[in-house]
Structures are given as C-alpha cells and as structure tokens.
Chains A and B, each alone.
Chain A
Amino acid sequence: MSTDETGPGGAQTPESAGNPGSPGQEFLQLITPAGERISHPEFDFWVRDITDEQLCSLFEDMTVIRRIDVEATALQRQGELALWPPLLGQEAAQIGSGRSLRADDFVFSSYRENGVAYCRGVDLTDLLRVWRGNASGGWDPYSINMATPQIIIGAQTLHATGYAMGIQNDGADAAAITYFGDGATSEGDVSEAMVFAASFQVPVVFFCTNNHWAISEPVRLQSHIQLADRATGFGIPSLRVDGNDVLAVMAATRLALDRARRGGGPTFIEAVSYRMGPHTTADDPTRYRDANELEDWAAKDPISRLAGLLDRKGLLTAELQQQVKDKADAVAAEMRRGCTTMPDPQPMDIFKHVYSAPNSWLERQQDHYARYLASFGDPAGAVSEEGAR
C-alpha cells in the first residue's frame, strides 16, 4: 500500500497496512475471510462509529443487491432483459463505498455498479430500463447524484475529474467518485484523468474494483505492478484494500472522501475483489477461467464474511436472517413487477432529445417517418425485416 495520508494523530500509514498475505498481496483488511474482526491502528478510526445495528444494515444491503442481481439474471434468462452485467462477489466493494458517500457527492460509474446505484436510492425499475432496451439512460443523473452508467471503458473517470474541478471552483464541500475496473486502467482516458486530477488537486476518488478479469483478460495482462501503485506515478496517493471486506472498503473510501473534502486532492483506491459470475449474461467464463480459481474466491465471499462477523458478535439471529431475506425478496419482487409492467417505448420516441430544441432538418425526417408508419394499417407490420406488403 502506498499513501502519504496522515491519519488521526498524524501517524504515517504503515507501508504494508492491513493483513499481510503473500508478498505483493498486502492490502488493508479489517475482517478476515473467517469473519474475525482484526484491528488496525489507523483505519479503525474511520469505522469507529459503525454500530452493531449498522453492521446488520450493511449485511442487509449486501444481501439485497445480491438478490437484485440474481433476479435480474433470471429476468434476462426469461427474455425480459436483453442483457445484464452481474456484480456477484463485488457486494462489499459496492456497498462499502456506496454507503460512505454523502447525498451531495456525485458518482460516475461503469455498467456494473448497480449496488452503488442502490445506495444512491435508485428506483429499481430505472435500474432495468437500459438493459431491457427501453431507454438509453435509466434515470435523471441529478435525481440521485449519479451519472448514468458508462459503457465506454474508462471515459467516466474524466467526467468525475471534471466534475471535481467544478466542485473546486465552486468552493463546495463535496467530492466526486468514479468507479472502473482493472481493465479500464489500461485505457488512455484513465491515465489522462489521473494527470488532470493530480495537476489540479481536485476532490475526486478513483475507485478501481480489481475483479481480476476484463472479460477474458486477466489483470496481469493490464498491469505488471499492483494497480494501486500505478497511481503513485501520477502523484496520486493510493490505498489497496480487501474489496471483499465491507469495513475495509468503508474505511478507505471515507478516508479518501475526507481527504478530498479537506482539499487534499485525489486518492486512488484499488479494491481487490473477484467477479464470481460471467462478465455479462452473454459471456461464457468457462472458456477462459479455471474453476479452482472461482472456488478459492468463493471461500472469501463478502457476504458470508460479514455473516461470520455478525455470528461472532451474536447478531446473526434467525430473526435477522429472516428479516433480511424478506426484505431481499420484497425488493426483488418489486423490481420484477417494475420490469414486466414497463410500458414499451413508442416509435416516434427515437426522435426525442437529439437536440435541446427542435430543428426543421430532423423534423422533416420525423414527419416523413410518421407518414410512412401511417401508410400501414398496422404500424407494427411495417418494421420487420421480412416486410409487410
């Protein structure tokens, strides 16, 4: 781990903070895979206020988003969604960071951060619009202070940096956070975002979820060094955390946000996790991934880890488990209902919002197409490839 952060009491963060694993694998950890809480001289400070009740609520959040993920995958298999990018295994990274944000912070994410969107209070139907093929964007970004998900790998890191430049200009007490994958770190945009963020010392957090795979490409193809170390070359302090440890993720994100708000500039967080499902529902990971690897990571599952901690604390009661399950089922049912009752978009909708004001150029095309559709008794028959006449 490399950071110049001076924590509470001005202590320098140790070089290998957390629980040292194999050489080069050190990362910050506050809960072991067995669910044991381990203390850390500096990072405990950042989660010292987390009560038992809040731990239970993190457990609920993580369970709910896993349930959302399973339900959406089922909806895709049933033909209700065209595609879905699962987040299975990344619940701690998304909930731990998402729950660290304030309402006035702004999120620029990739397509996989549905758990973060959940933390922002996204309407569950909105979450599915894009994947059902009904819209280009699922929500108004200003309604939940989260941009609509980015598909162009890495592009959002520049947007977050620019937004943070705006925050800085405005003298506001907020931060921007951007989420991206390990593969994204190879894109030029991400390097350029780090250059700008460091040059202008803006309040942005680069949250990189190293889930070990970029579709079929292993992280070692993207980087010869730990991703966290990459930021150092741009002059950006970085933290490497166990991404399956919700408390460690929270501690790191809170530290980074605090630094940003205090004028300390950008921070890069590498959350080391694992994508346990396919890249998307269209992907077949058995073509490139060893089953043993998946098994190893299943043993580090973020939800069972937190459950282990709750159990040790005597909090994992049958009542809690039932309550969490009921909540997850209810959320999933609500999402399914929203999905299957979503009205289909109308043909002429394709012309909406191309420009902020109408122009005769496009209106002419629109008018011609309306006449064309009207020339068929049954407009639906007009648009098959086989034709209607």
Chain B
Amino acid sequence: MTQLTFARAINAGLRKSLENDSKVVLLGEDIGTLGGVFRVTDGLQKDFGTHRVVDTPLAESAIVGTAVGLAYRGYRPVVEIQFDGFIYPAFDQIVSQVAKLHYRTRGAVKMPITIRVPFGGGIGSPEHHSESPEAYFTHTSGLRVVTVANPQDAYTVIQQAISCDDPVLYFEPKRRYHDKGEVDESVDPAMALPMDKARVLTDGADVTLVAYGPLVKTALDAASAAADEGISIEVIDLRSLAPVDYEPVVASVRKTGRLVVTHEAGQSGGLGAEVAASITERCFYHLEAAPVRVTGFDIPYPYSKLEMHHLPGLDRILDGVDRALGRPNSLSGLEG
C-alpha cells in the first residue's frame, strides 16, 4: 500500500496499462513533455516513447476522430481532453461515431476508447474550465460514463476502462487531484469491483445519499456531520453514471425510505433527475418523502469568486437531508 494522490494514482494506472498491452496508446494536448497540465501523464512519454504517448496538434475533434481510426486498426486509444469545457469540439465524434459504431456495424467494430476528462469546479479557474458535462454523454447510448472518488478507484477503474471493449468516458474530479489516499497497486483490476457497480460507503438507517465524483467526499463529510446530530446517512458512490447500477440504491432506499441525490451539474436534465425518477418508479411504496436533489443551479458555470455558491457544499446537502426528513429547513413553510 502506498499513499498516492488522485493524479499519481491515475498515472500509475495508465503506466500499468501501457506496460500490459502494447496496443494502448495515449493521445492528447501537452501530455508528453509537459506531462499534461495536471501532470497526470507525467513521465509516461519519456518511458514509453512518442508513439505510445502522443502529443497531438491542438484539435479535439481530430484527437477523438483519429482515436476512432486507431480503434478500427486494433488499438486501444486513451484520449485526454485537457479540460471539461474543451470536449465540445469533439462532441460530434463522440456521440455520432464513438458511441454508435459498435451498433452501426452490428458488433463487428469495437471502440475500446477511453476519454479522460478532468471535470467539475472548485479550483478557481476562468470560464470553460469547470464544467460538469456528464449528462450530455449519459444521454447517449453506447457510451459508458464513469467517475472516480478516491485514489484507489482512480487507479483501478482507469485500467478497467482501458481494457473495456466499449468506449468509456472517464471523468476525473479535478479539484481532488491533489487529495491523497491509500492505493494498493497489486490489485488486479479484473478481480476488483467492476467499474459499472455502485458502492455503499457508509451504513445508514435514515436517509440514502447518492453522490459521485467530486461530491463523494462532501457527502461523506455531510454524513459524519449529520451523525453528530443523530441522523444516520447511507452514502452511495454511484461510480458508473451510464449505465447506473440501481440495485444498491434500491436496496438502500427500501431500508431508509428517503433519497437525496447530489451533483455539481445543473439540476435540469441532470443525472439526479434520472436517479430520482428511477427510484420513484421502483420504490414508490417505500418512500417516506419525495426524493430531493441538491445540485448546481441551471446557470452557466459562474466566475470563480462565486463558484462556491453554485457548488453543493456540506450545508446545502444537509439542508436537503433535512427536507427529505421533514425537519426544519430553508424551504420550510413553502409549498411545492
């Protein structure tokens, strides 16, 4: 076991994949000499060469589009999109090509492409650097969308994503890049919890709190703050955003009768809406209260001085928990 940051853990996972499979190639802007703007690919070009770790020209559509061609040729491209807000020039290649080629060719062509996207806010960046675009991709069938919430998962899931024959969007919570955690590098990704499974992180009786990516830490903090007030919260890290692993959520809500979902992305059309609707369909008679969403607002990501107002923090999550429990909360007395 070693203590690694998220960034180093992903780096170690990429290194393992490059070592284990000569068909793995990394593509992206500044990923070579510089090691990426977040240093996630630090040292990999030096050790694996410029044909395995490719600094590409500055063109996102080309980066993903050429990954499609490489995949046709039997490679397993791992693409880095430098920041969440720069994925949109590649959107067409991702949703029209990457997502659909397996279906369109009736399974003849595999698209084992991993698209790494640093995502989410909280780092004080200018516009286009703090987006949460996951819902655009969860809405597109054929893509797997995953995100990680601790360095061990960061290490293991990146390897699972690369060895998966489907295209995977791997969202990296960039404000957690420097957070450290225990990583067991001897873990065999094939034996570990599969990337499309959710994980129950705390055992709770009163409320089920679903989070993913950057907000898992906040959710855990909220759960321990709630415990001080005698409220027991079951925190679930969704991990896979498409497809969602509903079984643990259903089991939990059957037990607690209350659901809170939290994410940084805006509320409308977000994953929280999907989870709330699915759980309502499946657990209607077990629910003691309407599911509650604690999310970013339906606004463009705000300038950094105010981003903490947009991002759900511990207190906003607890306010949501109070709503689910029918305790006094900021909306008490309001109808609908």
Chain B binder among A44-52, A128-136, A324-332: A128-136
- B278 interface residue (CB < 8 Å to A): no
Chain A residue numbers with a CB within 8 Å of B172 are none
Question: Chain A interface (Cβ within 8 Å of chain B)?
Answer: 82-83, 111, 130-136, 151-153, 183-184, 186-189, 214-217, 221-222, 282-283, 287-288, 344-345, 347, 349-351, 354, 361-362, 365-366, 368-369, 371-372, 374-376, 382-389
A216 to B, closest residue via Cβ: B34
CB–CB A369/B309 < 8 A: yes
Bound complex: CA A222 to CA B124 (Å): 30
CB contacts (< 8 Å) of B329 on chain A: these are 375
Chain B residues in 8 Å Cβ range of A183 = 57-58
Rounded to whole Å, the gap between the CB of A373 and the closest CB of chain B is 8
> Is B30 part of the contact surface with A, judged by Cβ < 8 Å?
yes
Known contacts A216-B32, A386-B221; A186 and B300 CB within 8 A of each other: no
Q: A83-B126, A347-B306 are in contact. Are A287 and B33 (CB under 8 A)?
A: yes
Considering the chains assembled together, what is the distance between the CA atoms of A240 and B223 in angstroms? 62
Known A151-B128, A387-B315; further 8 A-B contacts with Cβ < 8 A:
A215-B34, A216-B30, A217-B55, A221-B56, A362-B297, A372-B319, A382-B315, A385-B122
Interfacial chain B residues near A287, Cβ < 8 Å: 33-35
- Which residue of chain B is the closest to A130 with respect to CB atoms? B126
B316 contacts which chain A residues (CB < 8 A)?
372, 382
Contact of B303 with A216 in the complex, beta carbons under 8 Å: no
> Are A188 and B221 neighbours in the complex by a CB distance under 8 Å?
no
A136 touches B303 (CB 8 A): yes
Check if A216 sits within 8 Å of B33, measured CB to CB.
yes
Q: List 8 tightest A-B contacts by C-beta distance, closest first.
A: A387-B314, A133-B304, A216-B34, A186-B57, A372-B330, A183-B58, A375-B330, A350-B302
User: Which of chain B's residues 1-38 have a Cβ closer than 8 Å to chain A?
Assistant: 29-30, 32-35, 37
A130 CB to nearest chain B CB (Å): 6
Our count of residue pairs bridging A and B at CB distance below 8 angstroms stands at 153
A384 touches B58 (CB 8 A): no
Q: Is the CB of A384 within 8 A of B313?
A: yes
- Give B172-198 as 1s and 0s: 1 = Cβ < 8 Å from A's Cβ atoms: 000000000000000000000000000
- In chain B, positions 229-256 with a C-beta closer than 8 Å to chain A are none
* A376 and B30 alpha carbons, distance in the complex (Å): 44
CB neighbours (8 Å) of A347 from chain B are 306, 309
Contact assessment for B309 and A222 in the assembled complex, using a CB-CB cutoff below 8 Å: no
18 chain-A/chain-B pairs, Cβ below 8 angstroms: A151-B126, A188-B61, A214-B29, A217-B58, A222-B57, A288-B33, A288-B34, A344-B305, A351-B299, A362-B298, A365-B267, A387-B221, A387-B222, A387-B225, A387-B313, A387-B314, A388-B315, A389-B318
Given A83-B125, A215-B29, A365-B297, A371–B89 Cβ distance below 8 Å?
no
Q: Is the CB of A82 within 8 A of B304?
A: yes
Most buried by A among B58, B127, B300: B58
Q: Which residue of A lies closest to B310 (CB)?
A: A350
Q: Is B227 close to A, CB under 8 A?
A: no
Contact of A375 among B33, B127, B319 (CB under 8 A): B319
Task: Decide: B303 and A135 in contact? CB cutoff 8 A.
Answer: yes
Closest to A150 in B: B128
A216 to B244: give the CA distance in the assembly, Å: 38
Task: Flag B204-230 by CB within 8 Å of A: 1 or 0 each.
Answer: 000000000000001001100100000
Partner-A contacts on B (CB < 8 A): 29-30, 32-35, 37, 55-62, 85-86, 88-89, 122, 124-129, 218, 221-222, 225, 267-268, 297-300, 302-306, 308-310, 313-316, 318-319, 329-331, 334
CB distance from B162 to the nearest CB of A (A): 24
* Closest chain A residue, CB of each to CB of B32: A216
Q: Which of B37, B62, B126, B267 contacts A186 (CB 8 A)?
A: B62
Min CB distance A182 to B, Å, is 9
Task: Tell me how far the C-beta of B293 lies from the nearest C-beta in chain A, rounded to whole angstroms.
Answer: 11
Q: Which residues of B contact A134 (CB under 8 A)?
A: 303, 305
Q: List the B side residues contacting A354 at CB < 8 Å.
A: 298-300
By the criterion CB–CB under 8 Å, are A385 and B89 in contact? no
Question: Using Cβ atoms and an 8 Å threshold, which residues of chain A touch B85?
Answer: 151-152
A387 touches B299 (CB 8 A): no
Q: How far is the CA of A214 from the CA of B88 in the complex (A)?
A: 19
Q: Which residue among B30, B127, B218, B315 has the maximum number of chain A CB atoms within 10 Å of its CB?
A: B315
A151-B143 Cα distance, complex, nearest whole Å: 28
Centre residue among B129, B267, B309 by max chain A CB count within 10 A: B309
Q: Are A186 and B58 in contact (CB under 8 A)?
A: yes
